Chain A
Amino acid sequence: MDEQETDVDLTYNDDERAFRDEVRGFLAEQLPPALSAKVRAGAALDKADHDRWHAILNAKGWLAPTWPEEHGGCGWDAVRRHIFEEECALAHAPRIVPFGLTMLGPVLMQFGSDAQKAHYLPRILSGEDWWCQGYSEPGAGSDLASLKTRAVRDGDHYVVNGQKTWTTLGQHANKIFCLVRTDPDAKAQEGISFLLIDMDTPGIELRPIMLLDGTPEVNEVWFTDVRVPVENRVGEENKGWTYAKYLLTHERTNIAGVGFSRAGLASVKRMARAEMSGGRPLIENPFFAARLAQVEIDLMAMATTNLRIISRAARGQAPGVESSMLKVKGTVIRQEINDLARRAAGPYAMPFVSEALEGDNAPVGPDYAGPVARQYFNNRKLSIFGGSNEIQRNIIAKTVLAGDRR
């Protein structure tokens, strides 16, 4: 296709390297050490921590890498976005809370009214609104389109009844975007609408779900006769599924999590150098070293797969089934690294030191051991949420076996 065929180039070009240095400089200067220490130690971040990092990025204009410049985004191409995400992860910066920025924002830009864009987008950037996601229901997980939460029109309001679940960090949110059923008689995907709801509307109740690692990270949200103004609907009635699918494709940016894996692997190596087994460092134990090497080899390859897809995206080619592939491989690698960290900690992986205890008490055993088992169990979620790995495999298989090769 190209007139001038260029040879394979595995590295960033000069501009990209300069950009990476700029990101590194920014992180060295602006990322508060107290925050990166918490992330590095695997401690849970509170709302103030998230808000602090959000404000620092916003002040720099780097909060919304995926947004176009007209809405306050960075105008970066896919390669720059990747560099930014990776450098942030390696520096142990807090994860950018995605619900407003990478989930709702793009949907509003594509399908929202001018009034909705003017009202909500600046509030996402300023941090005034913290959004959470009302998608999954107890009976609608992988089969999201079977959702049952009802919205019935009553004059210029919808009346919403039902239950959402797995609402991550809903305890911090003042807004929730929801998929609701507005036409129960239509085919599953065709009777769904997309509503923006104030969390303090009467009739909404949030109940924390305690996860197996002891963290209240997710919630159930119950709706009882919740009145939502019709102008809070995004796009057309009964077309919500289209918007939801659009959102899910945006949720999958940075799905490979290469930066997280690199940071995690480095931390496993630090642990394995410190741990002694049979009179020598664990990292020299051939069994452990072999496990470590296998993951590292997988990660090297996946990082390049990721770059191949990014490079194509930067040239304007939309990713297809590759994002499903990256989701599966990326999460499996992260989980494998969590498993290595758990192994490396040895007997000191066993103590359950809750967040509350960590503040006052000295850590039990080496400081790296405290969070590893918790993280191992907590990150079982990676292969379940965001479209389970089984759903991703379905997508890959359907695409390839139906002959729809891209």
Chain B
Amino acid sequence: MNFELTEERQMLQDTLRRFLSDRYDTRVRNAILESDLGYAPEIWRQLAELGVIGALFTEAQGGFGGMGFDIATVFEELGRAGVVEPFLDCALLGGGLLAALGNEAQQALVEAVIAGECQLALAHGEPAGRYDLEHVATRAVPDGAGVVLNGRKAVVVNAEAADHVIVSARESGSVLDRAGISLFVVPRDADGMTLTGYPLISGGRAAELVLDHVRLGPEARLGAAGAGYEALSTRIAAAHVALSAEALGAMETATALTRDYMTTRTQFGRPIATFQALQHRMADLLIEVEQARSAVILAAGHLEAAPLERDRNGAAARTLIGRVGRLVAEETIQLHGGIAMTQEYELAHIAKRIVMTDHRFGDTDYHLERFIALGRDAA
């Protein structure tokens, strides 16, 4: 048994932690949050140079990691520092799908992603789809050798910055069928695709996409026709590890800030850390954060396992972290008092990150239901 990081991952963690603690404080991030782009291209480029994006891809894909624990290591640090740059959407989801399914021309984009020179987005969720991964109402209809896309995509993170958007569309079956979903690589400025962008409450930007007779040639197709669901669910499984690890990192920051605040803030003539009622609540949070850490380890350690085991552990992590994350966000704010509700205090952003994680690819209830269903299959 060994729960220590490999030497390489330890180095990655140290490098990333040092870079972010030097360069990414509350003021820097608040300026990024208020910028039109919603992320900092310079920081993106520097992190790419440090190999942070490469760590999310396997050697065969041109990276040097790509396993569950590589993803967890990177995203825990990104979560600690409340980084808003689009590592999940551009690299893990967009780049990951291209790497898994792409032909030669599409694989070339992966290289550019790893170098920090290409931005991607995944346009899968739809206005009425909520968290249902199989929900695809957008249609792809044959058009000569290519297809024509029609439909709408909801809350597409990083869409405005993306050079290419990976769009899911249905070629057969009904709205909630797993079979019949295809993927296409669409240039962001494709005729017929319009974006309405907006900032997100926890940082970064997203857009609503309208696809109105978007004509694509055969080169746009990513992977086999109608077989997109499996690749999507594999990447979303990696996203569950990333989101869980990110929330864990953010929770570490939330509890560390709270510990520091409690030992320095005095009321009634003594540090508030000396009040037993508050001590016990802090202790409960620390217990739960260790639970979250173990849940992340389980999810990361099973990312390469058979889909059933992978998904049970992924659903378990998202369920547990959805619950614990809310508790930690709310309690750390409460233990601080009003100060934690101000934009200029680090915890404000960190708490928003933790809570809003629950709105990506399923909340705690969605994953609880999933966990139960997967357990039933396992018998």
Contact = CB atoms under 8 A, between A and B. Distances in A.
Interface of A: 136, 139, 141-143, 146, 165-166, 209-214, 218, 275-279, 282, 285, 287-288, 291, 335, 339, 342-343, 346-353, 357, 364-365, 373-374, 376-377, 380-381, 383-385, 388-390, 393
Contacts of A142: 267-268, 337
Contact of A346 (B196, B267, B359): B359
Interface stretch (B104-112, B125-133, B162-170, B291-299): B125-133
B198 A212 contact: no
A214 B337 CA distance: 18
A352 B199 contact: yes
Interface string B338-379: 101111100011011001101110010110110000000000
Contact of B267 (A141, A212, A376, A384): A141
B132 A277 contact: yes
B359 A141 contact: no
Contact of A347 (B125, B277, B352): B125
B356 A373 contact: yes
B154 A347 contact: yes
Please name the 4 residue pairs, one residue from A and one from B, whose CB atoms are nearest each other, closest first. A212-B348, A143-B267, A287-B365, A210-B343
Contacts of A141: 267, 337-338
Question: Main SS of the interface on chain A?
Answer: mixed
Contacts of B127: 365
Interface of B: 125, 127-128, 130-132, 154-155, 176, 196, 198-202, 206, 208, 266-269, 277-278, 326, 330, 333-334, 337-338, 340-344, 348-349, 351-352, 355-356, 358-360, 363, 365-366, 368-369
Contacts of B355: 342, 373, 376-377
B256 to A, nearest CB: 18
Contacts of A277: 130-132, 366
B341 A287 contact: no
A152 to B, nearest CB: 24
Contact of B359 (A146, A350, A393): A350
B198 A339 contact: no
B356 A349 contact: yes
Nearest to A347: B155
A351 B366 CA distance: 20
Contacts of A353: 198
Nearest to A288: B365
B334 A357 contact: no
A389 B330 CA distance: 13
Contacts of B369: 285, 287
Contacts of B196: 364
A372 B73 CA distance: 32
A71 to B, nearest CB: 33
A346 B358 CA distance: 9
A380 B343 contact: no
Contact of B343 (A139, A214, A282): A214
Given A210-B343, A288-B365, A364 B198 contact: yes
Contacts of A136: 338
Given A287-B368, A342-B359, 15 more contacts: A141-B338, A212-B348, A218-B338, A275-B130, A287-B365, A349-B359, A350-B201, A350-B356, A352-B198, A352-B199, A353-B198, A377-B201, A384-B333, A388-B334, A390-B277
Contacts of B130: 275-277, 282, 346-347
B342 A380 contact: no
Which of A352, A374, A385 is the most central at the interface, judged by chain B CB atoms within 10 Å of its CB?
Answer: A352
B330 A380 contact: yes
Contact of A350 (B200, B340, B343): B200
Contact of B201 (A139, A218, A288, A352): A352
B36 to A, nearest CB: 13
B126 to A, nearest CB: 10
Nearest to A378: B341
Given A166-B338, A287-B369, A351 B201 contact: yes
Contact of A212 (B341, B358, B360, B368): B341
Contacts of B342: 209-212
8 contacts: A141-B267, A165-B338, A211-B341, A212-B352, A277-B131, A357-B198, A365-B208, A373-B355
Given A142-B267, A377-B352, A384 B206 contact: no
Nearest to A362: B196
A117 B360 CA distance: 56
Contacts of B269: 143, 146
Contacts of A166: 338
A275 B363 CA distance: 14
Contacts of A357: 198
A218 to B, nearest CB: 8
A279 B176 contact: yes
B200 A352 contact: yes
A389 B277 CA distance: 12
Given A277-B130, A373-B201, A393-B277, A385 B351 contact: no
